[in-house]
Amino acid sequence: MIHELKGRTNILKYFLSAMVLILFLSACGKSEPETAAFTPGFIYEFIDGNHVRFINQTEGEYHILNWDFGNGQTESTTSKSEQFEVYYPQAGEYDVTLTVIGLDGGRGSLKKTVSIEQTDFEVTFTLSVDAAHPNNVNLENTSVGTFDSFSWIFRNRVIENENSAVAYFPYAGSYTILLKVVKDGKTYSSNKPVTIALDDPGYFSKFGLVWADEFDGDAVNTNNWAFETGAGGWGNNELQNYTNGSNTEVKDGILTITALKVDDYKVAGSYTSSRIITKGKHEFTYGKMEIRAQLPSGKGIWPAIWMLGNDIGTAGWPACGEIDIMEYVGYMPNTIYATVHTPAGYGSNGSGNSRALQSAEEDYHIYGLMWTEKEMIFYVDDINNITFRYAPTYKTAENWPFDKPQFFILNVAVGGNWGGAQGIDNSIFPQSMHIDYVHVYQEN
């Protein structure tokens, strides 16, 4: 028993000795931490009370210098000798940090505080809500120092170089007013919030005519409109070929767009028509749009008065936004449609509504849109005859891509996914949409 215990003790001693040896060898194999190959360093000197020159004095081997001058300005360079002259317009304490990146990716940094004792330039302004006109905000530029130019920015509007200005807000809500000042080629800014308590009941009366086409000549005015041509279906499997003017006529103050039958086959190219647009010529953000028109009739006809975002070439559809002021399909006579297409809802899932209009084919009617930053109101003849109101509570790029310019489109399509849903009656042709005028009103 005693011999057995001694044997076990010897085995344990050998085991512990082996473990100690392994730990020793392992420790011997580890290298000491490498010391940094560089030491970050810089000095600065005042050029004047508000301009400071920074000079790199980092020692060793390194690759990149990243500067943060504490005033929002940053610089990155691989030049060890490059110096930077930095402007600090306002008095204060500024923490300047130099971060050095070594050849192996290692980093080191140094921070110093620069004290500026005098204010040379500062962007400031005052604002006050006009008690007598509570939708007006009085602005006064009180910026300190000299500068080249400035602008007030609010509601997607800009007022330039007016020390005393008035910002108008038609709707109740919370807003931000921005003052941008340019000095020596650089832009500085300041913003303040303002709250408007009530809607302006007289807002719509402040609109004035800014553009119109009365179609008083003897041809489509190419300063206002361009023809879009082709028979590619236009994304809706339409069957008409849009021509370069042969399906339009301007006479006695009326624009007429006529759809004609070419053959009886009811295929792409069996019909001709016209589609005219104001893209690149007249584009609008917000306003009251009114188009006075008489509509064609018959199964298979599909006239439209509408707008598209001018960024369709880059954003694509429906991200550009589409505003259908009026659409009409001949197989549902005397019913007009108003629709909005956005990434949140497009095609058959667009947001819209319809209404009965018994004399749509026999008489001229005004098809109107009141478009503001708050909402879109679609109406017929009078703004109180509302077809559809579109006003998302929380506006995003998905449901409101409408704070940017849109252009007009006037066209008469034949067939297509919607217009031809119940077939085409070839006996109805020719069919025409007549337009008396297009008017655009915006805030005075």
Residue 283: active-site member: no
- DSSP three-state, residue 234: coil
The single residue of 238, 249, 290, 327 carrying the catalytic annotation is: 327
Give the Å distances, CA to CA, from 63 to 67, 102, 109, 135. Answer: 13, 5, 13, 57
Whether residue 415 contacts residue 237, with contact meaning beta carbons closer than 8 Å, is answered with: yes
Pick from 75, 77, 80: nearest CA to 56? 80
What letter would DSSP give residue 35? P
CB atoms within 10 A of CB 38: 18
| Angstrom distance (rounded) from CA 189 to CA 138 | 18
CB neighbours of 303 closer than 8 A, spacing ≥ 6?
257, 295, 296, 326, 327, 328, 411, 412, 413, 433
Give the position of tokens 């003017």: 245
Backbone angles phi, psi at 295, to 5 degrees: -100, 150
Any idea what the Cα angle at residue 83 is, between residues 80 and 86, rounded to 5°?
140
Active-site residue, selected from the candidate residues 140, 322, 361, 362: 322
83, 54, 86: which is closest to 71 by C-alpha?
86
In the annotation, is 322 catalytic? yes
User: What is the set of active-site residues?
Assistant: 322, 327
